[in-house]
Structure 1
Amino acid sequence: MAQPDDEPATVAGSTVVPLPTTLTLGVEEEFLLLDPTTGESMPVADRVLGALSGDAREQSRQEFRHSMVEMVTPVCTDLAQLREHLVALRAAAAGAAEAAGARLVAVGATPVCEAHRTVPDEQRYHAMSRRFGPVAHDPAVCGCHVHVGVPDRELAVQVCNHLRPWLPVVQALTANSPLHDGRDTGHASWRSMQLERWPSIGPTPHFASIADYDATVGELIAAGIMLDAAMVYWYARPSAAYPTVEIRVGDVCPTVDDTVLVAGLVRALVATMVDRVGAGVPAPTIRDCLVAAAHWRAAHDGVDGNLIDLHAGGARPAWDLVDDLLATVAPALTRHGDLDLVLRQLDRVRREGTGATRQRRIMAGTDGDVRAVLTHLATQTTAG
């Protein structure tokens, strides 16, 4: 997802693949298919995928639940282009869902219930079901994965080291799953809580090199913790399928504008860390237990409470850390031409709240009517 540039970066004294001034990006979005009346998950993914055609069919993917679909943008170079693809893919999937009697809803976790938890009839999914048992049959969850073009794997793993203290802030901004079993869980991202039972999901460990990364993944596969390298579900990773750094910490965003905001921030964050690696700046040394605690706090509070400052230590108001993130990546946002758009969208989220905040506001105003929340979410999913 990147093209060559004139200036090479270096890692540990060796030259790596040079990167462009503008890094490429792409987004994978997972959606739930819900019953318009009850809000329950509907096992109609096969019908929805079968009804797609053209580019939408090419950019769709089967997921781990019969009630989920995934839409994948092409490689993009700017946020306007990304936005066009997101709007078109969401509209196509929503139309196919409606034809199947369902609603396409951008929400991070199953809000009501999921009666059909069998996996699609694929060998790999059956193997995961056998290996991980009931964990593999939890209700569906939906994420937003942002890919940023970093084709050199050595550089990619060093960038992931630098990303560790910032990803809880990204997680908090994307929180969009407070509901489970028709009630508020008290967590802004129940998806994050639900996924913690998988042994290969969580904060990215610190790695000395790509050789260290590959050796560790090999050991985890040999130990049965994961089936293969594609089951590295850490919050940031050198992608197993693309020449990218993949950030997979966030809930699926309720609106296209929310997704574009997150994608712009993530690209700028990756670009900033590429610069730091090239300048020989070491990644901060942070204990894994503190990183895990910061992610738990982000999943619990979103941006409506406090987050853990992994640079200075201690808890601080979430929006103070969002401001720190913005200040850190502002030069990269400017370089990519994204600063004004990101500032506008962050101001909007300050006013309106995250997806979790918006859902709770509707719940409070409708005496806990989950159907009103889901109707709003379905409308927001395809709002252009």
Structure 2
Amino acid sequence: MTYRPAVTTAVPDLAALTLGVEEEYLLLDPRTGESLPVADRVLAALSGTARNQSRQEFRHSMVEMVTPVTADLTELRAHLVALRRSAADAARAAGARLVAVGATPVHEPHRTVPDKPRYHAMSRRFGPVAHDPAVCGCHVHVGLPDRELAVQVCNHLRPWLPVVQAVTANSPLHDGRDTGHASWRSMQLERWPSIGPTPHFDSAADYDATVDDLIRAGIMLDAAMVYWYARPSTAYPTVEIRVGDVCPGVDDTVLVAGLVRALVATLADDVRAGVPAPRIRGCLVSAAHWRAAHDGLEGDLIDLRSGGARPAWDLVDELVATVAPALARHGDLDHVRDQVARVRRDGTGAARQRRVMARTGNDVRAVLDHLAAETLAC
């Protein structure tokens, strides 16, 4: 039987939506930059709160840290700083370096999956795809316990998620070279059959029936393999946005979390007011995500409301303007505006990596030094 979270008809307090963030990190060799299969040692070295907030991931070279639930961005930032520091200390003790980067930048010599029945089942079902180099994402959970509302919010999110994806772009390197894409992680993940833009659903029942059909067809092992860019979480009473690369710095993550929460709050208001979600062809949504992965914020994005390409920063500005009332309601407006100005000045994680590459004559180790420093910058 497919797992189903409880459906509630309670109306959430949209003035104070809760937040939680999951961040995945790579464990890299400090000398070569190659991925190191030491996740078991890193997790074993964690203690206390950090151990309870950690998870084993699909690669031996990855760890995931999960913040507690909060309604305050300052508190979220403090959790992220503490978890990153704890994970970095444990990585150092295991001979590795913790790096917040979206895709394996140099090489992944060891691609076996951890010894768990589920991971072995995925390996058998999906073959070489399950043994691609590691990729790391940032997943933002926004509290929304009404599942019917959550499905409708996911419909309304579709035009905006390429903009969120572009803001998080942080994986231009693969095999030690620039791929020409701001988010190579996004390109790698396209090989998985259950990852991509969230389809439009008429209702929670429609969502559930579709997931059941995909499980019966062998596309997914179970409902937990719904890896669409937005989904009602299978584990928590939340909408989960999982389109982004892991962000290089804590302030980047907090910016994304603040924007995502305000976007969910804004769109939940629209749903409750009876505003219909735009019906956009799936091929156009996929094209918009490809453009976001390719250009990041350094080129154009596709405006899915009009279908045309526009400067990426025009759409970022429109996103901030659209969610400004919700940002103000949560007390986040000034902070988000300041952080958007910082990213406009300094660039995305991908742009910052490329700047180091240009300055050092394509020295990948210098890029990884830069990323490791950003991972722990406070």
2:5 aligned partner: none
1:295 aligns with 2:289: yes
- 1-side partners of 2:103 and 2:10: how far apart? 38
Q: Superposition pairs for residues 38-57 of structure 1, below 5 Å?
A: 38-57=32-51
1:153 aligns with 2:147: yes
Aligned-partner residue type, residue 128 of structure 2: P
For normalisation by structure 1, the TM-score amounts to 0.96
User: For each residue in 1:218-237, what CA deviation from the matched residue of structure 2 results, as whole angstroms up to 9, or x when unmatched?
Assistant: 00000000000000000000
1:68 aligns with 2:96: no
Aligned-partner residue type, residue 12 of structure 2: L
User: For each residue in 1:281-318, what CA deviation from the matched residue of structure 2 results, as whole angstroms up to 9, or x when unmatched?
Assistant: 00011111000000000000000000000012210000
CA contact 1:16–1:155 (8 Å) conserved in 2: no
1:165 aligned partner: 159
1:344 aligned partner: 338
1:16 aligned partner: 9
- 1-side partners of 2:225 and 2:326: how far apart? 31
1:257 aligned partner: 251
1:174 aligned residue (158, 168, 178) = 168
- Return 5+ residue gaps in structure 2 as ranges: 1-7
1:212 aligned residue (206, 210, 216) = 206
2:354 aligned residue (360, 367, 375) = 360
1:378 aligned residue (357, 372, 377) = 372
User: For each residue in 1:338-369, what CA deviation from the matched residue of structure 2 results, as whole angstroms up to 9, or x when unmatched?
Assistant: 00000000000000000000000000000000
1:81 aligns with 2:75: yes
Alpha-carbon deviation of 1:207? 0.1
CA contact 1:236–1:249 (8 Å) conserved in 2: yes
1:31 is paired with a residue of what secondary structure? strand
Count of aligned pairs: 370
- 2-side partners of 1:78 and 1:204: how far apart? 28
2:225 aligned partner: 231
2:110 is paired with a residue of what secondary structure? coil
- 2-side partners of 1:83 and 1:358: how far apart? 21
Q: Superposition pairs for residues 19-38 of structure 1, below 5 Å?
A: 19-20=12-13, 21-38=15-32
Alpha-carbon deviation of 1:18? 1.1
1:189 aligns with 2:183: yes
Alpha-carbon deviation of 1:263? 0.1
2:4 aligned partner: none
For normalisation by structure 2, the TM-score amounts to 0.97
Aligned-partner residue type, residue 103 of structure 1: R
- 1-side partners of 2:228 and 2:343: how far apart? 26
Alpha-carbon deviation of 1:16? 3.1
Alpha-carbon deviation of 1:95? 0.2
2:247 is paired with a residue of what secondary structure? coil
2:275 aligned partner: 281
1:249 is paired with a residue of what secondary structure? strand
Alpha-carbon deviation of 1:17? 1.6
CA contact 2:183–2:245 (8 Å) conserved in 1: yes
1:267 aligned residue (247, 261, 264) = 261
2:106 is paired with a residue of what secondary structure? coil
1:144 aligns with 2:147: no
User: For each residue in 1:122-175, what CA deviation from the matched residue of structure 2 results, as whole angstroms up to 9, or x when unmatched?
Assistant: 000000000000000000000000000001110100000000000000000000
- 1-side partners of 2:264 and 2:92: how far apart? 37
2:211 is paired with a residue of what secondary structure? helix
- 1-side partners of 2:326 and 2:54: how far apart? 31
CA contact 1:162–1:284 (8 Å) conserved in 2: yes
1:168 is paired with a residue of what secondary structure? helix
- 2-side partners of 1:313 and 1:296: how far apart? 14
1:128 aligns with 2:127: no
The percentage of aligned residue pairs carrying the same residue is 82
